[in-house]
Copies of this chain bind each other. A is one copy, B any other.
Amino acid sequence: MEHIHGGNITRAVERYNLKEENIIDFSANINFLGPPSQLLEEIRNNLAKIIHYPEPNSTTLKRKMGQYLDLEEKNLVIGNGAVELIYQLVKVIKPDLALVMAPTFSEYELAVKSCGGRVKYLRLEEEKGFKIDIEEVVANLDRVKIVFLCNPNNPTGTLIKKSELVDLIDYASRKDVFVIIDEAFIDFIDNPGNYTVIDLIVRYSNLFVLRSLTKFYAIPGLRLGYGAGTEELISKMELARDPWSVNFFAQLAGEIVLKDVEYQKETRRRISLEREFLYNSLKKIDGLKPFPPSANYIFIDIGASNFSSIELAEILARRGILIRDCSSYRGLGENYIRVAVKSRADNCFLLDNLREII
């Protein structure tokens, strides 16, 4: 298995002979509003600071993040994107055996294997809407050292309720199993309080919660994520890594975006609106079966169309539209695609093209 993800614009430009400005990218789940307006201005104003090293371990950003989240600084680690922290976690925990859902974000299994660990897969079933069944997770924890859950799950968009997660974490704590909850997309969902477990890191020493700022604040080019866990785990992670991994501009961005409450509200309002519109419109296209979305992306079964996901992605790419062909996800065949929720104009352009093709 390789690192295959959406959002590889350079490859699309080369492969389909496109101009970058003519591409509409539905393959990466980035907030379509773009970054908060103040952000680019602040980066521009601080470009001269490129000559200084970033603050080691992002101590200042940690402090501010702690205030924002109502958590202590010592329970937080700032990452060069959330993915750096996945690798760091695995390096420090050194699991012999990890439990990973299929399909889910591919970097969990890659990180485990990169440290010599084995992976046990729990296959999610289409008949159950790809829902993660916590009882089944519990039933599969034998000899497992670490379990990864993505909430909402990528690419399916399914959610696990907080109450169910508490049961799992509680059980796992008695079995000495680490539970990693990846909440990379949780800022996009309605009623996140019913799903997040970040407040529980002070209660369970076997819990680690991952978050991303890259997607919600539309700054994937800069890289920024964070994690919350016990002081012991966090200090092991800090000691075992490059102290400068988070660049200066990402640290600056973190401080700016957390304060922008208006932008956060506006994003949730607009995403919610467009998500409903795109979902309802996709449902009406024969041959497409979209799954109920929760964040800023929609998972679609195209099995009833005449196309494989590879073919459909190829046809759309030639028209300048990138979607995520999901055939590289473990446990999925060639019947699934994922599309980001974008602006009304972009969504309509995608819908028009899908109607025409299918």
Chain A interfacial positions (CB closer than 8 Å to B) = 2-3, 5, 7-11, 25, 28, 30, 34-35, 40, 43-44, 47-57, 59-60, 80-81, 83-84, 86-87, 91, 107, 110, 114-115, 218-223, 239-245, 247-250
Across-interface contacts of A115 in B (CB, < 8 A): 91
Q: A158 CB to closest chain B CB, in angstroms?
A: 24
Are A80 and B245 in contact, with the CB atoms below 8 A?
Answer: yes
Are B51 and A110 in contact, with the CB atoms below 8 A?
Answer: no
Protomer copies: 2
Are B25 and A52 in contact, with the CB atoms below 8 A?
Answer: yes
Across-interface contacts of A241 in B (CB, < 8 A): 87, 114
A54 to B247, CA, bound (A): 14
Closest 8 CB pairs of A and B: A221-B248, A114-B240, A3-B243, A7-B53, A50-B221, A83-B242, A53-B220, A10-B55
Are B242 and A80 in contact, with the CB atoms below 8 A?
Answer: yes
Across-interface contacts of A249 in B (CB, < 8 A): 221-222, 247, 249
Across-interface contacts of A220 in B (CB, < 8 A): 50-54, 244
Q: A348 CB to closest chain B CB, in angstroms?
A: 20
Are B51 and A47 in contact, with the CB atoms below 8 A?
Answer: no
- Of chain B, the residue at the smallest CB distance from A47 is B40
Are B87 and A242 in contact, with the CB atoms below 8 A?
Answer: yes
A223 to B248, CA, bound (A): 9
Across-interface contacts of A43 in B (CB, < 8 A): 47, 50
Across-interface contacts of A56 in B (CB, < 8 A): 3, 5, 8
4 extra A-B contacts, CB within 8 A, seeds A28-B53, A84-B242, A87-B241: A9-B52, A50-B219, A81-B244, A223-B244
A51 to B3, CA, bound (A): 20
- Of chain B, the residue at the smallest CB distance from A33 is B51
Q: A324 CB to closest chain B CB, in angstroms?
A: 12
Sample (23) of A-B pairs whose CB atoms are under 8 Å apart: A3-B243, A5-B53, A7-B52, A7-B53, A9-B55, A28-B52, A30-B51, A43-B47, A49-B221, A50-B218, A53-B220, A80-B80, A80-B242, A81-B245, A84-B242, A91-B114, A91-B115, A110-B239, A114-B239, A221-B249, A223-B245, A247-B250, A249-B249
A245 to B79, CA, bound (A): 10
A253 to B9, CA, bound (A): 18
A107 to B50, CA, bound (A): 22
Across-interface contacts of A80 in B (CB, < 8 A): 80, 242, 245, 247
A242 to B44, CA, bound (A): 27
Across-interface contacts of A28 in B (CB, < 8 A): 52-53
Across-interface contacts of A40 in B (CB, < 8 A): 47-48, 50
Are B35 and A107 in contact, with the CB atoms below 8 A?
Answer: no
Task: Identify which of B2, B53, B83, B218 contacts A244 (C-beta below 8 A).
Answer: B83
Give the residue among A11, A35, A50, A107 with the most B Cβ atoms within 10 A.
A50
Across-interface contacts of A47 in B (CB, < 8 A): 40, 43-44
Q: A42 CB to closest chain B CB, in angstroms?
A: 11
- Of chain B, the residue at the smallest CB distance from A116 is B94
Are A223 and B7 in contact, with the CB atoms below 8 A?
Answer: no
Across-interface contacts of A51 in B (CB, < 8 A): 30, 34-35, 218-221
